Amino acid sequence: MNNKEYWNKKIETMKRADLEDLQLARLKRTISTALDTRYYGGLYAEKGLNVDSIESLDDIRKFPFTVKQDLRDSYPDGMTSPKKRESIRMHCSSGTTGQPTVVFHNQHDLDAWADLVARSLFCAGARPGDVFQNICGYGLFTGGLGFQYGGETLGALTIPAGAGNTKRQIKLIQDFGTTVMHAIPSYLIRLYDVFEQEGVDPVKDTNLRMFVIGAEPHTEAQRKKIENLFGVKAYNSYGLTEMNGPGVAFECEEQSGLHIWEDSYLVEIINPETLEPVEEGEIGELVLTTLNREVMPLVRYRTRDLTRFIPGECSCGRTHRRLDRITGRSDDMFIIKGCNVFPMQIESVLMKKKEVGTNYLIELVTENDVDEMYVKVELRSEYFSDSYHDLEKLKESLVHQIRDEVLAKPKVLLLPPGELPQQEGKAVRVVDYREAQR
């Protein structure tokens, strides 16, 4: 496929200086809209901030951060502008970490969002005429309608398949010749198991040619695993409800980082402790300001997602900077035996093993006053029947490799497929029982 094609060539390949001019104009508009909301209006008046405070993009740093709790405190609509009256849709975050946050949209906001998702899909290689199956919960969750309108705007036959009902998903894939599919990575492995059970070969018996995967942290090793199982390329998709949902940052066909759409989002990466910007290329917390939203502008929203800018330009010709894959949320980290651990470090070890499926669970427990980390891992069915000796060897090697990666020694349990609880939505990777056991 010709990767020098763009959905919106002018915007996607804009010279940096022009892009920054556009950002500055839009930032002023965002601040002006924010001043009309109850929340920012009060806050900025107190601090003497207004549109004149913005002369350059760096002036964003005069403005306070917005955190999830601020959205919760302004529940349900304290952060909306008077354009709230024009709202025709609302969404809530999935509430993975507490009370959901609400975002309202008018027609302008929805059109702009659908266009960003269409741009994102095109950027990864989807084209008008594709059959796009969206395996994702519809409803308040943004992945359903977000990709639905995006796929339709792209000009793809967009199948609102919804979540679950795996056999029916496979029937849809076969009956309608699905070429592009969106799903969360943890679901795709389950889907593959059912392909196997049903005797359907994803390469020979379907038209699948690309996946869009996202909504939850996953490693490069997990992407590779998915690509190898299905024989289909998988592109990383990043978004969050507070910033609309999908369509914030997306991989292009180079698969070397996610282009974040800088005409619509002003991007900062900060050290979550000092709140100062990190050095270019260093990992920090992603902070985003909406640049093209009318009903609910958000200024310097702390996503809690950890990433870095990938230095240099992308060979696809897009000038919007690239983010590295999200390594987790700043609040995902746990401490065990004095070591700071991110679940993705453990996943990266697990996913490199051919015997391992994709479902795993890290349990933190206190046994006889000592904290222990259990890593429970489902194996792929064909390997679970291996000899006791082989399984012991696999277990030993996992224990050592995880210890080398995170410095704390885990206890590894190998399980047959289907043993671990399955989530309807995003995978839960860590359960901490320690407080309760003390």
Cβ distance to Zn ion smaller for residue 3 or 423: 3
Minimum distance from residue 147 beta carbon to ligand ADP (Å): 12
Are 77 and 102 in contact, with CB atoms under 8 Å apart? Answer: yes
Encoded tokens for 429: 């990777």
305 is a site residue for ligand ADP (CB under 6 A): yes
Site string for Zn ion, 248-287 (x = CB under 5 A): ----x-x---------------------------------
Tally of residues, the chain: 438
Look at the block and give the residue holding tokens 């969106």. 182
Taking contact as CB under 6 A, which single stretch among the options 195-203, 209-217, 267-275, 293-301 is the one that binds ligand ADP? 209-217
Which helix H or strand E contains 84, and what residues bound it? Answer: none
Query: Which residue, among 389, 388, 395, 343, has the nearest Cα to 364 in the 3D structure?
Result: 343
285 is a site residue for ligand ADP (CB under 6 A): no
Residue 34, SS3? helix
396 binds, among ligand ADP, Zn ion, none (CB under 5 to 8 A by kind): none
Are 150 and 121 in contact, with CB atoms under 8 Å apart? Answer: yes
Taking contact as CB under 6 A, which single stretch among the options 103-111, 126-134, 163-171, 213-221 is the one that binds ligand ADP? 213-221
Cβ distance to Zn ion smaller for residue 296 or 314: 314
The dihedral formed by the CA atoms of 162, 168, 170 and 176, expressed in degrees to the nearest 10: -80
> Is the peptide bond preceding residue 100 cis, with omega within 30 degrees of 0?
no
Residue type, 321: R
DSSP 165: -
Taking contact as CB under 5 A, which single stretch among the options 8-16, 164-172, 285-293, 309-317 is the one that binds Zn ion? 309-317
Encoded tokens for 394: 């696999």
Residue 331 burial (CB count, 10 A):
10
Q: Which of residues 90-129 bind ligand ADP (CB under 6 A)?
A: 93-97
Minimum distance from residue 246 beta carbon to ligand ADP (Å): 8
**Can you tell me the distance from the alpha carbon of 130 to that of 346, in angstroms, rounded to the nearest whole number?**
36
326 binds, among ligand ADP, Zn ion, none (CB under 5 to 8 A by kind): ligand ADP
Q: Which of residues 67-96 bind ligand ADP (CB under 6 A)?
A: 93-96
Beginning with the edge strand found earlier in the chain, give each strand of the sheet holding 411-415 in spatial order. Answer: 411-415, 370-379, 356-367, 430-432
Taking contact as CB under 6 A, which single stretch among the options 50-58, 114-122, 191-199, 208-216 is the one that binds ligand ADP? 208-216
Q: Which one of residues 125, 151, 202, 214 is an interface residue with ligand ADP (CB under 6 A)?
A: 214
238 is a site residue for ligand ADP (CB under 6 A): yes
95 binds, among Zn ion, ligand ADP, none (CB under 5 to 8 A by kind): ligand ADP
Burial of 196 per CB tally in 10 Å (0-12, 13-18, 19+): middle
Cβ distance to Zn ion smaller for residue 82 or 311: 311
Q: Which of residues 310-329 bind Zn ion (CB under 5 A)?
A: 314, 316, 318
**Can you tell me the distance from the alpha carbon of 423 to that of 172, in angstroms, rounded to the nearest whole number?**
22
Minimum distance from residue 131 beta carbon to ligand ADP (Å): 23
11 is a site residue for Zn ion (CB under 5 A): no
Catalog residues that contact ligand ADP under the rule CB under 6 A. Answer: 93-97, 214-217, 236-241, 303, 305, 326, 329
